[in-house]
Amino acid sequence: MDIVKEVNGQKHIFCLPASQYVAGLIKKQIYHAYDLEVELVGTGASIKKITKRKIVDHYDKENISYIRAQQPPVFIGGFYWESEKDLAVFYKTNTEDENKLLKAEGILRIPYDVFKNLREQDLIEIKGILPNKAGKEYRIQFRATKGYIKQFGKYFPVDDDMPLYEMPKEKFAWKILEENTPPKTAKEKAKKKWIPKKGGG
């Protein structure tokens, strides 16, 4: 994407990947109840959420401030660049709670602060886990453009936290990636495979 910047009184055109252009818009935003940390990586970017604590003035209850909490930043997704069409693709993997929501209500959610800065043609890509009729769980990739999601989705506010944008899973294009295999427990990892000894009758 071409960006015009003024350097020493002269205008220059710089070519910037759409992924980093959108990431730059997110980085410029001012947040209160949380912060978003944007790090440019190659032609893409990673986004982490920084939690803040709400402080209410003891003498003036309407005087509210926020300070950074002790928790480390949490990765909420990132961008990669589809260069052929100059598209920004926001990708994320569902958390355990988000997969529970997907299974129970068929809903997928996107951070609204990311969503609102995307262009209409830019893409959202979400990886989630769903069972089939036989009960086997599969990792599934869901994809849609921002413009399409706006037609069928809706804004979802969250008190004192990052708002979201949600849409039913049926409206996304999707494909099965692989069967979901639960990670081995420490006991299973420690268990040695029995190998019969040679010789001796």
Q: What is the mean pLDDT of residues 79-98?
A: 95
| Model confidence, pTM | 0.79
Is 118 exposed, middle or buried (CB count within 10 Å of its CB: 0-12, 13-18, 19+)? buried
Res 196: pLDDT: 58
Can you tell me the distance from the alpha carbon of 21 to that of 45, in angstroms, rounded to the nearest whole number? Answer: 10
Q: Which residue has the higher pLDDT, 7 or 116?
A: 116
Q: What is the DSSP letter of 128?
A: E
Tokens representing 189 are 């990892």
Q: Which residue has the higher pLDDT, 15 or 131?
A: 131
Res 120: pLDDT: 96
Q: What is the side-by-side order of every strand in the sheet holding 107-111?
A: 107-111, 164-168, 154-156
pLDDT in tens, 27-83: 998 888 889 999 999 999 999 999 887 777 767 666 767 777 788 999 999 999 998
Q: Pairing between strand 123-131 and 87-93?
A: parallel
Q: Which residue has the higher pLDDT, 184 or 137?
A: 137
Secondary structure E strands in 27-117:
34-41, 44-56, 64-68, 74-82, 87-93, 107-111
Can you tell me the distance from the alpha carbon of 185 to that of 189, in angstroms, rounded to the nearest whole number? Answer: 6
